[in-house]
Amino acid sequence: MRLARLLTLPLIVALVATPRLATSQVNINVRFGTRLGPEIGVFAYSQERLGDWHTNYRRWTPVTLYDINGRYYRASVPGARPVMMYTYNGEYFLPPQDAEWVNRDKRYNYGRRPTPVDDGRGRAWTAANRRDPRLGAEIGVLDYSSDRAGAWQQNYRKWTPTTVYEVNGHYYQHNAPGARAVGIYRYKSEYFLPPSDQAWNGRDNRFNNRGTPNADDRGRVRSKP
């Protein structure tokens, strides 16, 4: 009997630990053309920015985001993990971490509250992160991938050249003071940088080469959602 109890204990610990581990290790395959919408940048709760939660939380709107490969989106795909956040004045942020906050907001689904993994991803809000509302929606930009967009030599005419505007490492729909224009492509609802091959330069006469992505753009984007 004692041996059975000793064998059972590690199994229980493993079962309890597995879901928490999975949230940081699951790699979700997102089908090309899936309409995820722009990636959502999430901030940590800041009393300085948002006020004391005891008096201000009713001004915030609870919203469900979906964790897809460590990034957050409004749309879901199979395998995505729902996480409850808040939104206010166009910004998305994690809820307060005070123990007193738990079950205080009746509108909030506490069964989907963030895990420590999510808490570690929240960016600290600073004045430099302030977003000009004239920029419009944030755009999730990927690197060019032949697996997703096809070989550029045959497919580039199917892509639509477009311009986005970069501010503090994020890309937006519209221009505003201080924004930098960046030329990219859109295809099947995905936005991506042009190919980096030397042979591509000057091939597409539709592309505005004055907004050619720089090394910073190349370094910050991912190959897939």
Provide mean pLDDT across the span 176-185: 94
- Clarify whether residues 116 and 138 are in a common domain: no
User: What single string gives the DSSP state of each residue in the chain?
Assistant: -HHHHHHHHHHHHHHHHHHHHHHHH----PPTT----SPBPEE---HHHH--HHHHGGGSEEEEEEEETTEEESS--TT-EEEEEEEETTEEEPPP--GGGTTT-TTS-GGGPPPHHHHHHPBPP-GGGPPPGGG-SEE-EE---HHHH--HHHHGGGSEEEEEEEETTEEESS--TT-EEEEEEEETTEEEPPP--GGGTTT-TTS-GGG---HHHHHH-BS--
- Clarify whether residues 122 and 63 are in a common domain: yes
- Clarify whether residues 140 and 73 are in a common domain: no
Provide mean pLDDT across the span 149-169: 93
Relative to beta strand 138-139, strand 81-88 is unpaired
Task: Kindly tell me if the per-residue pLDDT of 19 is higher than 90.
Answer: no
Residue 23 placed within a domain = no
Task: Kindly tell me if the per-residue pLDDT of 142 is higher than 60.
Answer: yes
Final residue of a structural domain among 129, 154, 188: 129
- Clarify whether residues 213 and 138 are in a common domain: yes
Percentage, residues of the chain above pLDDT 90: 55
- Clarify whether residues 189 and 209 are in a common domain: yes
Final residue of a structural domain among 114, 129, 144: 129
Comparing C-alpha atoms, which of 154, 146, 158 is closest to residue 223? 146
- Clarify whether residues 114 and 49 are in a common domain: yes
- Clarify whether residues 139 and 115 are in a common domain: no
- The answer to whether 29 touches 62, Cβ cutoff 8 Å, is no
* Structure confidence at residue 41 (pLDDT): 85
Structure tokens at 34: 């899936």
Residue 28 placed within a domain = no
Task: Kindly tell me if the per-residue pLDDT of 38 is higher than 90.
Answer: no
- Residues 6+ positions from 144 with CB-CB distance below 8 Å: 152, 185, 192, 193, 194, 195, 196
Q: What is the pTM of this model?
A: 0.67
Relative to beta strand 170-172, strand 180-187 is unpaired
Residue 26 placed within a domain = no
pLDDT tens readout for residues 60-92: 999 999 999 998 998 898 999 999 999 998 789
- Clarify whether residues 203 and 181 are in a common domain: yes
- Clarify whether residues 215 and 152 are in a common domain: yes
Task: Kindly tell me if the per-residue pLDDT of 5 is higher than 70.
Answer: no
Final residue of a structural domain among 129, 163, 181: 129
Q: Which neighbouring-strand residues pair with 33?
A: none
Residue 1 placed within a domain = no
Q: How many domains does the chain have?
A: 2
Residue 31 placed within a domain = no
Residue 20 placed within a domain = no
Residue 33 placed within a domain = no
* Structure confidence at residue 137 (pLDDT): 78
Residue 192 placed within a domain = yes
- Clarify whether residues 125 and 140 are in a common domain: no
Task: Kindly tell me if the per-residue pLDDT of 17 is higher than 50.
Answer: no
* Structure confidence at residue 18 (pLDDT): 38
Q: Which neighbouring-strand residues pair with 87?
A: 61, 92
- Clarify whether residues 88 and 163 are in a common domain: no
Provide mean pLDDT across the span 124-148: 82
* Structure confidence at residue 56 (pLDDT): 95
Cα gap 189→148, rounded to integer Å: 12
User: What Cα–Cα distance (Å) separates residue 213 from each residue in 142, 143, 151, 200, 221?
Assistant: 12, 11, 19, 13, 11
- Residue 83's domain spans which residues? 42-129
- Clarify whether residues 73 and 103 are in a common domain: yes
* Structure confidence at residue 55 (pLDDT): 94
